[in-house]
Amino acid sequence: MSTRRSPLPSLSCVERSLLSAAVERHQPMLKPLLITLGSEPLSDDQREHLREALADELLKVGLSKDGEPNPLGVKIDDLIGKLSYF
């Protein structure tokens, strides 16, 4: 009996763009991961580094003056959660 792996999720164009911008600004050494993202599972370390880049981006552009997430921040936060499935 073989075990079938679930297909990896995919990112929308907007999500991919957000992730790419965050990686470019905060952790450019992760750019090679963007090429294979979704085609092979991420290691825990890779996933955590991508989340860190997104968290840095959230702090930079995703919060309003009152400290609450703005619309872009909500998208970034959702993407951080979605990375758990990669």
pLDDT for residue 86 is more than 80: yes
Close Cβ partners of 69 (under 8 Å, ≥ 6 residues apart): 58, 62, 63, 76, 77
Close Cβ partners of 55 (under 8 Å, ≥ 6 residues apart): 80
Question: What does the pLDDT look like over 25-83, one tens digit per residue?
Answer: 999 999 999 999 988 899 999 999 999 999 999 999 999 999 999 999 999 999 999 99
Please count the residues of the chain: 86
Question: What does the pLDDT look like over 44-55, one tens digit per residue?
Answer: 999 999 999 999
